[in-house]
Amino acid sequence: MSNARATHLTRRGILAAGGALGLGAVLAACGDDDAKSGGSESTAAAKSGPWTFKDDRGTTVKLDKVPTKIVAFTGVAAALYDYGIEIKGVFGPTTLENGKADVQAGDMDVSKLTVFGNVWDQFNVEKYAAFAPEVLLTTTFDSAGTLWYVPEASKAKIAKLAPSVAISVYDRQLTKPLQRMWELADSLGADLTATKVTDAKKRFEEASERLRAAAKARPEIKVMAGSAAQDVFYVSGTNFSIDLEYFKALGVNFVEPSESAKKATGGWFETLSWENVDKYAADIIMMDDRTATIQPADITEATWKKLPAVKAGQVIGRSPEPILSYDKCVPMVENLAKAIEDAKKVA
- Do residues 266 and 2 lie in contact, with contact meaning Cβ atoms separated by under 8 Å? yes
Local structure of residue 188 (DSSP, 8 states): T
Nearest CA-CA partner of 94 in 104, 81, 83:
104
Residue type, 75: G
| The pairing of beta strand 232-236 with beta strand 269-273 | antiparallel
Lowest mean pLDDT among 18-22, 202-206, 321-325: 18-22
Give phi and psi for 306, each to the nearest 5: -90, -10
pLDDT of residue 11: 38
For the cut 90, the answer to whether the pLDDT of residue 91 exceeds it is yes
pLDDT band at 25 (very low <50, low <70, confident <90, very high): very low
Share of the chain above pLDDT 70, in %: 86
SS3 content of the chain, % helix, strand, coil (to 5): 40, 15, 45
Model confidence pLDDT, tens digit, residues 97-128: 999 999 999 999 999 999 999 999 999 999 99
Lowest mean pLDDT among 33-47, 78-92, 333-347: 33-47
Across the range 9-20, mean pLDDT stands at: 43
Residue type, 160: K
For the cut 80, the answer to whether the pLDDT of residue 19 exceeds it is no
Lowest mean pLDDT among 29-38, 128-137, 191-200: 29-38
pLDDT of residue 47: 61
Lowest mean pLDDT among 41-50, 69-78, 83-92, 174-183: 41-50
What contacts 300, CB < 8 A, 6 or more positions away? Answer: none
For the cut 50, the answer to whether the pLDDT of residue 16 exceeds it is no
Report the alpha-carbon distance of residue 255 to residue 225 in Å, rounded.
Answer: 8
Across the range 74-89, mean pLDDT stands at: 98
State the average pLDDT for the chain: 89
Local structure of residue 146 (DSSP, 8 states): P
Report the alpha-carbon distance of residue 159 to residue 149 in Å, rounded.
Answer: 13
What contacts 207, CB < 8 A, 6 or more positions away? Answer: 330, 333, 334, 337
First-to-last CA distance in the chain?
Answer: 29
Nearest CA-CA partner of 140 in 104, 169, 164:
169
Lowest mean pLDDT among 38-52, 68-82, 137-151: 38-52
3-state secondary structure of 66: coil
For the cut 90, the answer to whether the pLDDT of residue 18 exceeds it is no
Across the range 302-327, mean pLDDT stands at: 97
Lowest mean pLDDT among 13-27, 90-104, 134-148, 298-312: 13-27
What contacts 183, CB < 8 A, 6 or more positions away? Answer: none
User: DSSP alpha helices (H): ranges in the chain?
Assistant: 11-20, 33-37, 41-45, 74-82, 125-131, 155-161, 175-187, 195-217, 242-249, 259-262, 302-305, 308-311, 326-342
Angle at 162 (CA atoms; ends 156, 166), nearest 5 degrees? 80
Question: pTM for the complete prediction?
Answer: 0.87
pLDDT band at 40 (very low <50, low <70, confident <90, very high): very low
pLDDT of residue 188: 98
Nearest CA-CA partner of 262 in 90, 15, 17:
17
3 or 343, which is more confident: 343
For the cut 90, the answer to whether the pLDDT of residue 168 exceeds it is yes
pLDDT band at 29 (very low <50, low <70, confident <90, very high): very low
pLDDT band at 14 (very low <50, low <70, confident <90, very high): very low
What contacts 136, CB < 8 A, 6 or more positions away? Answer: 70, 71, 72, 147, 150, 158, 162, 163, 164, 165
pLDDT of residue 96: 95
Model confidence pLDDT, tens digit, residues 228-260: 999 999 999 999 999 999 999 999 999 999 888
CA 324, 59, 187, 35 dihedral sign is negative
Burial class (CB in 10 A: 0-12, 13-18, 19+), 262: buried
For the cut 90, the answer to whether the pLDDT of residue 328 exceeds it is yes
